[in-house]
Structure formats: structure tokens, C-alpha cells
Amino acid sequence: AQSVSQHNHHVILSEAASLELGCNYSYGGTVNLFWYVQYPGQHLQLLLKYFSGDPLVKGIKGFEAEFIKSKFSFNLRKPSVQWSDTAEYFCAVTANQAGTALIFGKGTTLSVSS
Amino acid sequence: ETGVTQTPRHLVTGMTNKKSLKCEQHLGHNAMYWYKQSAKKPLELMFVYSLEERVENNSVPSRFSPECPNSSHLFLHLHTLQPEDSALYLCASSQGLPGDTIYFGEGSWLTVV
């Protein structure tokens, strides 16, 4: 079965600082990887995903993530955070098979101070 | 607006009541999901329906009973709930194909008193 580990529970940054959130997954087969974001009071929405091809994936709002297969990792990065990036970030994995659902990590709360 | 609508948004219920959560997706998707989001825990997958058939049930207590009458609607029927069932219940949908984006509703907040 798949599982996802997010190393940081709560990250606090100042505006313009760089961000990296760790994510490791456990699964022996081919996977699809996702980062979802949940802004305060809003629904979960997709930030970016890796399906195949270039392991460096660019998403919305300047976020990117790199899939490193040998490390089973899919870390999320942003070079310069903004106050509006304050949210909860979830890494998720699904096996590359039809009908399989997302398995989520525990989430990382990002607080950005202005 | 996500294309996935959940009602009610908030529900307070006693342990002996029977209630239902409703989800409707307007995206033409073939798969629908129920997730439970509790504080300090990862989102827990509860049920998966693909083409109206249940394909996954993650050891969810029988007091939670899903129903998928068609590809656009998903229900979660609740009875004899426990206080630890208080959580945000998220409905989601996708095409059901590998690598698909899963679209979430805004959730139904359930409080069991």
C-alpha cells in the first residue's frame, strides 16, 4: 500500500524567504504525485502534479516540485513566498492505475509573515 | 466553485440520529470519493466509487454507509455516530484514469454531540 510522509508539520517564514517542503512516499510501482493546497476557509485545490516526463514540474503561483525517483521524494519549492501563500499544503500519491484514489500526507501548515 | 457541491456545509447531530451527507459533481466524472479530514491527521480515504460501483472501502465502520445512485451523486449515510466521528467530510471526483486530478468539494463539517 502507498503512504506519504511530510516532514514538516508547521513552517514559519517571512515574506521573500525561500520555501522547500519535504515529501517522501512509499510505493514500489509507478506513481503519480500531487501537491494540493488549502487556503484558510477554502477547498482543497491542485497546486501541481507529476504524471510522467520531466521530473521538474511547475505549478500555479510560482510553485515547483521535483520528482527524484531514487529518493522516493517530491519536494515542493518556491523561491520567494508571499503572505498570500499562508495555507496548508498536502502531498499525495496514487498508483498509476485506473480507479485508485489519492493517499495524502498529514499536511504542512505554512505561515508567512509580512 | 469547484464543480463539486456538498450539502449540508455544517451538521450538528446527536449520536442516535440518522443523517446523510450529499455530494453532487457537475464535471462529468466517472469516479467519486469520500475522505475524512480530522485535526492533526492525514486525509483518510473512506470510499471510492468508479462508474457507480464501490471499488475501495478502507475499513470504515459500518455506521458510515455510502450510496452512489448515479455517476453525479454520492451520499454518505450516518447512524449511531460517535464523538470521534466529528470531522470535515470531503467529497471528490475525477475521471478515474491514472494521473487524473481529483477535484474536491468544500466539505461538510460534522459535529457529533
Q: Give B97 or B60, the one with higher predicted confidence.
A: B60
Cβ within 8 Å of residue A41, ≥6 positions away: none
B residues 73..92 contacting A (CB < 8 A): 90
CB-based contact B42 A34, cutoff 8 Å: no
pLDDT tens string A74-87: 999 999 999 999 99
pLDDT of A54: 93
B residues 44..63 contacting A (CB < 8 A): 45, 48, 50, 55-56
A2 pLDDT band (50/70/90 cuts)?
A: confident
Closest-CA residue to A72 (of A36, A106, A28, A103): A28
Cα B69 from Cα A11, distance rounded (Å): 42
The three cell numbers of residue B14 are 446527536
Residue B20 burial (CB count, 10 A): 15
If 0-12 CB within 10 Å is exposed, 13-18 middle and 19+ buried, where does residue A94 land? buried
Average pLDDT over residues A17-41: 92
pLDDT of B1: 66
pLDDT tens string B5-50: 999 999 999 888 899 999 999 999 999 999 999 887 778 999 999 8
pLDDT tens string A35-72: 999 998 888 999 999 988 999 999 999 999 999 999 99
Cβ within 8 Å of residue B109, ≥6 positions away: B9, B10, B11, B88
Instruction: Work out the minimum CA distance from A43 to partner chain B, whole angstroms.
Output: 5
Cα A43 from Cα A75, distance rounded (Å): 22
For chains A and B, what is the number of CB pairs under 8 angstroms? Answer: 65
Cα A94 from Cα B100, distance rounded (Å): 9
Place of cell 459500518: B62
CB-based contact A104 B106, cutoff 8 Å: no
Cα A76 from Cα A84, distance rounded (Å): 17
CB-based contact B101 A96, cutoff 8 Å: no
**Is B46 strand, coil or helix?**
strand
